[in-house]
Structure 1
Amino acid sequence: MIVNKQRYLRSSAWNQFRRIRLERKNVCWISLPALLSGFLVFSLSLGFQHSFAQKLTIQSPNKKLTVSLDAEGPEDQLTWFLRASFHGTGKSTEVIPEIALGLKRSDQDFSKGLRFLKKSNERLITEKYSAPHGKSSSRSNAANEVTIAFENAVKGKMNLIIRAYNDGITFRYQFPGKGGTYVVEDELTSYTVPKETRRWMQKWNPANEGIYTAMSDSTIQLREWCYPALFQTKDASCWYLLHEADLDRTYCGTKLSNKAEGNKYKLTFPDQGDGRGQGASKPVISLPWKSPWRVIIMGSLQDIVASTLVDDVSPPSLVKNTEWIKPGNVSWNYWSSNHGTKDYKIVTDFADLAAEMTWPYTLLDWEWDAMSNGGNVEDAAKYILSKGVKPLIWYNSGGDHTWVPSTPKDRMLTHENRVAEFTKLRKMGFAGVKIDFFESEKQDMIKYYLDILDDAAKFEMLVYFHGCLVPRGWARTYPHLMTYEGVRGAEWYNNGPELTYTAPEHNTILPFTRNVVGAMDYTPVTFTNSQFPHITSYGHELALSVLFESALQHMADRPEGYRQLPDFAKSFLKTVPAAWDETKLLGGFPGKDVIIARRKGDVWYIGGINGEIKEKKQTVALDFLQGGTKYSLGLIADGKHDKEFTTRSAEVDSSSSVDVRLLRRGGFVATLTPINNI
């Protein structure tokens, strides 16, 4: 591993190492944490130095990603850090020059003066698993893993586990001891990002419902930021996304902060005021313990969009039988009628819509407990089921952590409440629950989320979290967790005029950021207007059904919005899946445009949108299709104006390409069906 000379000039070991190096002209310039840990006397042979250097540099199985360990400072203040590199075609780029490491526990400090003890043998991790929903159904991954053992000044032990995957780098901390309960006072993990690096980040808010801001150089803002955060290196050779995964009851969610230093993003615990001040902001851990994975998805934009790394590093499913977990599209009345579920006739109209569109679900949102005008919730459930549709139902998360008084409240708050409510819902035929207003990522709230999922699984209830955190890999462990909000979606057309003008660009950023890490219920595909209008074209709105992945895709428009569509657009929405076998990015750039192809079975669906205020012509290459097979192309694109479509059909194969015209803020969809399947 190459070492930065300036760092070691500051080290107390430097002068001794320099003398040895001058005596041994043939010794490579390498990093020897052994120099800093007291066993220099038996580590001077050239062979040992080469061997040790190799052990401190970990490469991905495909050799494209490298993570290496380094240190700086005097021995009693020594700090350790990682650096991440990407090896593209003919060049190597140092992507993140420094990832600071360390934790401060209430009893001991594991951030400075750590002495290297040993390093495990590198081991290859390979895994294959299936997922009932998401961007791909059959998943495989490979990584090289090492564990490095450290000891602090009072002999406290901490391990660092590092993995280099083909699509990213992950690391986590481990306390191997047994017994004892401690507060984690701070986590020192931080990512140093060169100022020239472009970044797309969302200002921190507990509901994760902000707009992404593009920044670099002089436009960099100092504040706290949500996950995930997207970066592009100055030379444009590499993209990476910062996130975390396998967050469990033993820790809190974190966020990123560069308030102290503009180009250093430090992991930061929740604010004490989150969740109305309920719960502790600092996590309490018991040994043995492992932190969540710190995740850096890395590579091309296609690598970012297709990655399932957040799920890959999370625990396998705890649900043995997953046959009851059925993804699908949902009719939803809140967007068009905020108080729609109070009205039995509106509820039944949306049930009729779901049946007409062959969507499997309809959602009873807030105020279902005040339903009138012809029936109550029991009557509604019976009517919905009679149409061959399954009902879903909303709940306030309850408790003192939320200021929202909307009822029913508290019925999800305790194990006893949940068991009683899930028992009733099963008898009434409900398939799942939407639970809202969590407002915190403190440790107590993480426990609450997971307790809900544990109980819901016992009753075979699908779960949708709203007003919540962004995904942390839980959908792999709890596959009945179908989707999350955690996004500024179409609901914001009801909250003010802002989304009217920001949505076109915002929609082109989400496939590269928020939707990469897990299901995202944007509540898309609206053709009419709610309280504030949208300026995206009909083609743009139709494309969101493919671009945005959510195992429960809540189609947000009112029934007449879908009923007035031409038959070809309705037919598309009747058949578009909510879960996919494969995902490929075909083109795009955050804030400008995006084209994604997703496969279900043998049929490919393509969605593309333009986020800019100028018309574009896109040429879509179909080289991802299976060779030697002819496909029937069905294209629905923008017409002469925003509310008009054009259609085209053709016979194509993997050598073909399709030219598509997109209006300003426009879009298109396409289907590609093997000829022998028609």
Structure 2
Amino acid sequence: MKKWMLLLLGLVAGMELCARQLTVQSPNGKIAVTLFPKQPANNNGEWCLSASYMANGKSSVVIPHIDMGLVRNDQDFSKQLKFVKAGKPLLVNERYTTLHGKKSVCTNQANEVVVAFENPAKEKFNVIIRVYNDGIAFRYEFPEKKGTFTVKEELTAYTIPAGTMRWMEKWNTANEWYYTATKGDKVVQQDWSYPALFQPEDKSCWFLLHEADVDGNYCGSKLRNTADPSKYSLAFPDQRDGKGTGASEPVITLPWKSPWRVIVMGGLSDIVESTLVDDVSSPAVVQNTSWIKPGVASWNYWSSNHGTRDYKIVCRFTDLAAEMNWPYTLFDWEWDAMGNGGNLEDAIKYALAKGVKPLMWYNSGGPHTDVGATPRDRMLTHESRVAEFAKLKQLGVAGVKVDFFESEKQDMIKYYRDILEDAARAGIMVYFHGCLVPRGWARTYPNLMTYEAVRGAEWYNNTPDLTQAAPEHNAILPFTRNVVGAMDYTPVTFTNSQYPHITSYGHELALSVVFESGIQHMADRPEGYLELPDAAKSFLKAVPAAWDDTKLVDGYPGQEVIIARRKAHTWYVGGISAGNWERKKTIRFNFLEENKKYKLTLIADGIHDKTFNTEYRVIDKNSTLEIKLLRAGGFAATIAPLP
């Protein structure tokens, strides 16, 4: 540790002498960020970052230019910036615990340097740079103590060489489209959603672009390469989003810090296993968390779009949750119109009597959405939320699902956060649908259990395209969307909705592990689960929704993925494949502890896509196993230590 600290000190001291270049390295020395003038020859005061990665003893420049700066309504903080000083290097070293997610204990460790600039008006502008073992984060700061301004533009932009492979999703307000893989002259110029995954041409590493710790002091952003196909600039929300409500340009009050601009970097396992988005986000503001319980829920919407109107259907899904040992059932939209034998209060009493806690859907309401589904508007104001949450708490409801936000403007960011704040005070869990991609809020508000922001199984109801697209789509999401936070895909469907699926039963079972969500909604109808063979049914009765550790075992975006997740001493493994061909995979278990024996229960594809093949073995860390996967196939497994 002393060696890297001395190196960092030397580099910072060198910059103070020449004001030309500063390099900050990660604690393990693999990742380096360099700050330098954009045009050294004429020194016009524009500054850039570059990012490098060390693989096999060779350093490669992965992102050659990251433009920096902001334009306020009063002044420019992107040009004619004079370097003032670089602060003393700081080792950020923190451990924190989580109630749900990839890991129960996370480490926030990085080298941090604060670089101070002045513009021609002598106004102060800081850039805070952190370099982690699994990535980079930087943010802007106005340290002055007073003043309110509008940010007209953020100049952050990532220059990505043309030969870099990229997996990106076309921008849409609900973040529910597909990822496409492109490079070179195939790169499309448009607006893009977060997160975005890249692999440099030399294959030295992978990196993923995102942002974190977005709060009511700023808006959400997206990526835009319309001016230059290889340059991804940060863009503010379109003024048309949310039916034109709210301002697209954020208003800030000093002192102020921007959201973190995050680059997760390393091997594919580093990407999938990273908690960097949460690491840089604000610590929990909820002190008593005993009421926050991750878990699995039954869900009637997928098989019966208006199911919550029908008391008898609601009871069937409550019975399913009770039979499967799932703690929750969701009353989706239209619960306020429930009939056919009972009303909402009757359904809640029925669920609680079965040992199942209800969750309830709400339309976010307001002028930002035209969706008229009810109940609507009850989340809009602090007063109405407090009253609604108090009523739900008294009835025994555990959480709410809030839908249809349709904007990432500053006012909508405040709305999200206000819902979380009021729900936390009331002891109500929350998850968002029709929403933004996670920005690290689950660390700050651990009662935020999951987000949609994905083209999930719900789309089997809507259009026919997911039928053919799902195998590849499912094999991309663990490397992209699910990296940055919980994902409510509503998986594990064995029967069909309006449009069929071609994924095998083994593939569907695996999704309960492959996809991480603090509340995992099992989307199928009751018979889809109750008619499963005993091994598969037992697996779904036991599979957790929160994890102590996560390991990427194998995979490549859009082709296949195998993920192992641990709860206490038991590992759960899920593997899926894409493509129209069968394959065999050799699985290694080197994530297990040394000198221990484990019982493996493997539930894999059977002779056709609607059957399973179950086998049992004793394994250890040195074991290998060959598994046959059908086209769009998969498998699930439990690995439990033997006495």
TM-score, with length taken from structure 2: 0.97
1:530 equivalent to 2:533? Answer: no
Residue 481 (structure 2) aligns with = 514
String of CA shifts for 1:107-134, please: whole Å, max 9, x gaps: 0000111110111011111110100000
SS in 2 for 1:228: strand
Q: Secondary structure at the match of 1:586?
A: strand
- Are residues 1:106 and 2:68 paired? no
CA distance in 2, matches of 1:119, 1:218: 40
Q: Distance in 2 between matches of 1:468 and 1:49?
A: 43
C-alpha distance in 2 between matches for 1:345 and 1:644: 30
Structure 1 counterpart of 2:132, from 165, 176, 179:
165
In structure 2, what is the equivalent of residue 156 of structure 1?
Answer: 123
Q: Show CA shifts across 1:502-526 (max 9, x none).
A: 0000000000000000000000000
Contact 1:76 1:112 in 2 (8 A): no
Name the CA shift for 1:180/1:635 in 2 (closer, same or farther; >3 Å): same
**Corresponding residue for residue 412 of structure 2:** 445
1:462 and 1:482 in contact (8 A); partners too: yes
C-alpha distance in structure 1 between counterparts of 2:637 and 2:314, whole Å:
32
In 1: Cα distance, 2:140 partner to 2:386 partner: 36
Correspondent of 1:202 among 169, 192, 195:
169
Q: 2:368 aligns with which of 401, 411, 420?
A: 401
Secondary structure of 2:131's match? strand
2:339 aligned residue = 372
Cα deviation, 1:617-644, whole Å, max 9, x if unaligned, reads 0001011100010000100000111101
Work out the number of aligned pairs and report it: 633
| Whole-angstrom distance in 1 between the partners of 2:607 and 2:628 | 10
Determine the C-alpha separation between the residues in 1 that align with 2:627 and 2:378.
Answer: 50
Matched residue, 1:660:
627
Q: Distance in 1 between matches of 2:152 and 2:19?
A: 33
Distance 1:366 1:124, change over 3 A: same
Conservation of the 8 A alpha-carbon contact between 1:161 and 1:174: yes
What is the match of residue 329 of structure 1? Answer: 296
Deviations 1:398-444 (A, max 9, x none): 10000101111110000000011011111111000000000000000
Work out the CA distance in 1 between the residues paired with 2:557 and 2:184: 18
The answer to whether 1:71 aligns with 2:37 is yes
Q: Deviations over 1:368-403 (max 9, x none)?
A: 000000000000000000000000000000100001
Deviation (angstroms), 1:313: 0.3
The alignment partner of 1:609 has SS state of: strand
Kindly provide the CA deviation profile for residues 452-505 of structure 1, in whole angstroms up to 9, marking residues without a partner as x. Answer: 000001110000100000100000000000000000000000011000010000
Please give the per-residue CA displacement for 1:74-105, whole angstroms capped at 9, x wherever unaligned: 65733100000000112111110000001000
Distance change (3 Å), C-alpha of 1:567 and 1:58: same
Give 2:23's match in structure 1, choosing from 53, 57, 60.
57
Q: How does 1:245-394 map to 2 (within 5 A)?
A: 245-394=212-361
> Which residue of 2 is the match for residue 15 of structure 1?
none
Deviations 1:155-214 (A, max 9, x none): 111000000011000000000112111100000000000000000000000000010000
1:467 aligned to which of 434, 437, 454: 434
The reply on whether 1:565 has 2:532 as its aligned counterpart is yes
Distance (Å, rounded) in 2 between the aligned partners of 1:48 and 1:180: 34
- Counterpart check, 1:227 vs 2:173: no
Amino acid at match of 2:169: Q
- The CA distance in 2 between the partners of 1:492 and 1:77, in whole Å, is 51
Distance 1:76 1:471 in 2: 38
- Alignment partner for residue 634 of structure 1, among 597, 601, 605? 601
> Which consecutive aligned stretches of 4+ in structure 1 deviate over 6 angstroms post-superposition?
none
Deviation at 1:139, TM superposition (A): 0.8
Partner of 1:24: none
1:177 and 1:288 in contact (8 A); partners too: yes
Query: CA–CA distance in 2 between the matches of 1:670 and 1:350?
Result: 26
2:357 and 2:576 map into 1 onto residues whose CA distance is: 32
Gaps of 5+ in 1: 1-30, 34-46
Mapped partners of 1:391, 1:142: distance in 2 = 39
Aligned to 2:506: 539
Distance 2:495 2:69 in 1: 52
The separation in 1 between residues aligned to 2:287 and 2:56, in whole angstroms, is 43
> 2:138 aligns to what SS in structure 1?
strand
What amino acid maps onto 2:635 in structure 1?
A: F
**Partner letter of residue 436 of structure 1?**
D
| Whole-Å separation in 2 of the counterparts to 1:190 and 1:48 | 26
What residue in structure 2 maps to residue 96 of structure 1?
63
Query: For residue 7 of structure 2, what is the aligned residue in structure 1?
Result: none
- Alignment partner of 1:669 out of 631, 636, 642: 636
Q: Deviations over 1:549-568 (max 9, x none)?
A: 00100000000111111111
How far apart in 2 are the matches of 1:49 and 1:413?
51
CA distance in 2, matches of 1:319, 1:567: 40
Q: Can you list the C-alpha shifts for 1:120-156, whole angstroms capped at 9, x where unaligned?
A: 0111111101000001001113100000111111111
8 Å CA contact retained: 2:14, 2:22: no
- Cα distance in 2 for residues equivalent to 1:305 and 1:674: 25
Q: CA RMSD in A?
A: 1.4
Contact 1:523–1:554 at 8 Å: present in 2 too?
A: yes
TM-superposed CA distance for 1:235, in Å, is 1.1
Give, in whole Å, the separation in 2 of the partners of 1:349 and 1:199.
44
Q: Which of 201, 207, 211 lines up with 1:244 in the alignment? A: 211
TM-score, length basis structure 1: 0.92
Q: Which residue of 2 aligns with 1:497?
A: 464
Residues 333 and 286 of structure 1: CA distance in aligned 2, closer, same or farther (over 3 Å): same
User: Which residue of structure 2 aligns with residue 586 of structure 1?
Assistant: 553
**Structure 1 residues 32, 135: closer, same or farther in 2, change over 3 A?**
closer
3-state DSSP class of the match of 2:265? Answer: strand
Instruction: Supply the distance in 2 between the matched residues of 1:53 and 1:546 (Cα, whole angstroms).
Output: 50
